[in-house]
Amino acid sequence: MRTNQPKTIYLSEYRVPAYLVDTVDLRFELFEDGARVHSTLSVRRNPESEAGAVPLELDGDSLKLESVSLDGVPLAQGQFEDQGDRLVVSQVPESFELTVVTWIEPQNNTRLEGLYKSSGMFCTQCEAEGFRCITFFPDRPDVMSRFRTRIEADSKSYPVLLSNGNDVERGDLPDGRHFVTWEDPFPKPCYLFALVAGDLVEKRDSFKTCSGRDIDLRMYVEPRNAEKCDHAMDSLKRSMRWDEEVYGREYDLDIFMIVAVDDFNMGAMENKGLNIFNSSCVLASQETATDLAFQRIEAIVAHEYFHNWSGNRVTCRDWFQLSLKEGFTVFRDSCFSADTGSPTVKRIEDVTLLRTAQFAEDAGPMAHPVRPSSYMEISNFYTLTIYEKGAEVVRMIHILLGPEMFRKGSDLYFERHDGQAVTTDDFLQAMEDASGRDLSQFRRWYEQAGTPVLEVSDEFDANACVYRLSIRQQIPDTPGQTNKQPQHIPFALGLLGNRGQALPLRLVAGEVDAPAERVLELTETEHTFEFHGIDEHPVPSLLRDFSAPVRVRYPWSREQLLFLMSHDPDGFNRWDAGQRLAVDVIQELVGASKDVAVDPRLVTAYGHLVSDASLDQALVAKMLQLPSEAYLIELADAADAPAIHAARERVVKHLAIALRDELVACYRRNAESEAYQVTPEQIARRSLRNTALSWLLLINDEEGRELAVRQFRDADNMTDRMGALRALVNSDYEDERDRVLSEFYTRFQDDPQVIEQWFSVQAASDRAGSLPQIRALLEHEAFDWKNPNKVRSVIGAFAGQNLAEFHRADGSGYDFLAEQVCRLDDSNPQIAARLVTPLTRWKKFAPAYGERMKAGLELIRDKSGLSRDVYEVVHKSLAD
């Protein structure tokens, strides 16, 4: 057991850097057995620091120091101290040049932080603290420097040598080697540094900016992926245009490059002018990528591109401010996706993720504010709270200020802070200054963790024609935070009359031209609003378009929900009413005897959705997806995952039996005839037919089986092929399951991104993903422990989606996960720490499960040499 507890870092201890680095001159000598990094820094004392003539301290991690010199003079032992994670030079002048030479071993770097090798190429990942694995440096985002980078490598194996900025020099060297020098004119923090060296093909395109400059767009991929770049390139150009039109932001360098890398810890990275992507988040073709993948790629390409302004030109002062760039950029990419596809569907997808996973995080042991005040390992704080809740917080500012004032605020923010490293407070200040609005109470969204709960009650006074709505907010305690103050919440609502008509919302009697929708601003613990001139008991449509990241409690009757499902003019709330109804019906059946019937009204409502082709099919496709098991668990008090799984499956089967003919008709109506395109209409059609298929297979329908087998064989795109595969894998047709799985593997075995999907469709299935089957997948020839995507597609999918199997009463799923986390902790702590997440939720489950989950955490806790990443997650989860 580890005795050395990792240190906690506090926001309150932030001090400006004692030294600044104006320029960095790097020279990389890349070899097969390692790399030598020569780094020359021009350093000067920070005039804003009160520290004075203190020793210079540079961060380092896993470096072999070869030499240090100051102003060209080698330092002798005693003039500097190599403390492993720190290089200290005790006597330094006010300004000087420091040259440090280090030796590193990218080929043995399995953590995938710093410089490492992936399928034969060199690449980097420096955010948050990876640059210190390359050379000694003040590795903090408020030190911004101009970088010049020379890369030297073997010409044959590494013909392509890339770094940030513009290539200013290239040439040959002795022994079949060559070099390229890159210069980035924009000062940047070292976390945005990037280097790539490999044998890659280049795909080129160009973009003319709003001011008429031509930008060279380049994608670099392995030769076998050359045909999978079009969608990302197209998404990039659309993002560039959108950021000009919506935010007035023009691209700044002359080149923009994207590189695809197979081994990557996350989705992608916004390095200045040289974005590096996980292959699965950038490569796509009709035959190999699903609609979901196409959409994800578009969103991630946009996200990384948008960071060029929200993140790179204006960056974070320290890592507590991470949501400054991440929340804002997620908000930006989400608006971009809404503008290019269906806004309602995009909103539904965002809210589904938020309510399922972020709310769970907010209610768990790792809950933290959007601007945390402490951490042990910053990699653990790239969370749904920082990203998704952070985006919701920016979205609320957009709602409160309105689009014009918001744009004024963002213009001011970019203009005021261009080239600076700033805080979330600076962002809010710019929004306040531009709009004249007071956001002081709103700041609590950044400071208080936990999901606010709004208890809504109402009464109708028929005599006075007044409808009263009372809203009480309460923010639950979270680790280290109690007695929270009320937050400033924009609450959008409408009222519907009993014919479905929208009622005018008169806040004072006799108000003329009252709107049918209002955004109420909640600032107190309790408010009561009176709506006048209402002559019937209305049905409230609350929190329209999910105007705030909160839980709303209101005692809707099933009749009211059915009514809202078909009448609410707010598409999001129509969907949400359907979800609430389905949740209510499923919850009633959890652990109940077979005598408790499935509410027939659900069948009627779903029958209408399946059959009425005049409805918005994109919305219908979403409405037909029943609430996920993960969401049902999140809503439960003492969750019993297998019982929830059984109840949910019972409802789907009931619907499928009752609507069998309608499902077949829906399938046939949505059969594809036109050429494949990723449009909202086509996506909806494919989604509908594949939902119909999966329901039919769940009830062992013979016609369904035939349709699925035919679709699997004949599909001209991965969405349909995968839809059929998934339906068959999750059916009781065992022979077909095995046959299609092996046919699929044979066909796509050379494509790692497709094989990831093949792994996860099995690992997420209660039919194909029992524990022995999961163990067999880990032994499969295509499985690779060093590849995070493979690890996620088997272990992550099992523990995150195959909930009935993972939560087996004997605890074997938990022990299995603990075992894999311990194994991965030695090679890749970031991935290991992520995989622990399902176990951290142990308090959410019925004690019989929770206690065993806790035992799994204890197994991990007792492993020797635990990484800081896993240490933090496990210890916080076990704390009382």
The one-letter amino acid code at 866 reads: L
When CB distances to ligand B3K are compared, the closest residue is 127
Q: What crossing angle do the helices spanning 390-417 and 322-340 adopt, rounded to 10°?
A: 110
| Residue 46 dihedral angles phi and psi, to the nearest 5° | -80, 115
Sheet holding 201-208, edge to edge: 201-208, 214-221, 255-261, 274-278, 268-269
Q: Which does 718 bind (CB under 5 to 8 A by kind): ligand B3K, Zn ion, none?
A: none
Cβ atoms within 10 Å, residue 66: 12
Under DSSP, the state recorded for 106 is G
Nearer to ligand B3K, 262 or 388 (CB): 388
User: Smallest distance from the beta carbon of 641 to ligand B3K, in angstroms?
Assistant: 29
Nearer to Zn ion, 122 or 387 (CB): 387
29, 262, 326, 751: residue in contact with ligand B3K (rule CB under 6 A): 326
User: Smallest distance from the beta carbon of 270 to ligand B3K, in angstroms?
Assistant: 5
User: Smallest distance from the beta carbon of 300 to ligand B3K, in angstroms?
Assistant: 8
Binding site for Zn ion (CB under 5 A): 326, 329
User: Smallest distance from the beta carbon of 346 to Zn ion, in angstroms?
Assistant: 18
Nearer to ligand B3K, 129 or 736 (CB): 129
Q: Identify the residue whose tokens are 């360098």.
A: 253
With 0-12 CB in 10 A as exposed, 13-18 as middle and 19+ as buried, what is 744?
buried
Pattern 286-305, ligand B3K, x by CB under 6 A: -----------------xx-
Site for ligand B3K contains 388 (CB under 6 A): no
Burial of 675-704, coded b for 16+ CB within 10 Å and e otherwise, reads ebebebebbbbbbbbbbbbbbbbbbebeeb
Q: Which helix (H) or strand (E) holds 526?
A: strand 526-532
User: Smallest distance from the beta carbon of 790 to Zn ion, in angstroms?
Assistant: 24
Nearer to ligand B3K, 265 or 690 (CB): 265
68, 217, 266, 283: residue in contact with ligand B3K (rule CB under 6 A): 266
Q: Which helix (H) or strand (E) holds 146?
A: strand 144-154
**Contact between residue 31 and residue 197 where contact means Cβ atoms under 8 Å apart:** no
Nearer to ligand B3K, 314 or 663 (CB): 314
Stretch that binds ligand B3K, among 96-104, 268-276, 672-680, 773-781 (CB under 6 A): 268-276
Nearer to Zn ion, 326 or 362 (CB): 326
200, 269, 456, 722: residue in contact with ligand B3K (rule CB under 6 A): 269
Binding residues among 121-150 for ligand B3K as defined by CB under 6 A = 127-128
Q: Which does 25 bind (CB under 5 to 8 A by kind): ligand B3K, Zn ion, none?
A: none
Binding residues among 347-386 for ligand B3K as defined by CB under 6 A = 379, 382
Cα dist. 199→112, 161, 183, 352, 685 in Å?
Answer: 19, 9, 22, 41, 40
Site for ligand B3K contains 392 (CB under 6 A): no
| Residue 716 dihedral angles phi and psi, to the nearest 5° | -105, 15
Active-site residue set:
304
| C-alpha to C-alpha distance for 529 and 827, rounded to whole angstroms | 57
Cα dist. 604→254, 365, 608, 621, 662 in Å?
Answer: 58, 41, 6, 16, 12
Q: Which helix (H) or strand (E) holds 163?
A: strand 160-163
Q: Which does 496 bind (CB under 5 to 8 A by kind): ligand B3K, Zn ion, none?
A: none
184, 222, 270, 426: residue in contact with ligand B3K (rule CB under 6 A): 270
Binding residues among 826-855 for ligand B3K as defined by CB under 6 A = none
Stretch that binds ligand B3K, among 36-44, 86-94, 178-186, 266-274 (CB under 6 A): 266-274
Query: What's CA 152's distance to the chain center, in Å?
Result: 35
Closest CA to 563 of 539, 599, 534, 584: 539
Q: Which does 266 bind (CB under 5 to 8 A by kind): ligand B3K, Zn ion, none?
A: ligand B3K
Nearer to Zn ion, 113 or 326 (CB): 326
User: Smallest distance from the beta carbon of 275 to ligand B3K, in angstroms?
Assistant: 9
Instruction: Tell me the β-bridge partners of 315.
Output: 421
Interface with ligand B3K: number of residues (CB under 6 A): 12
Note the residues at the interface with ligand B3K (CB under 6 A): 127-128, 266, 268-270, 303-304, 307, 326, 379, 382
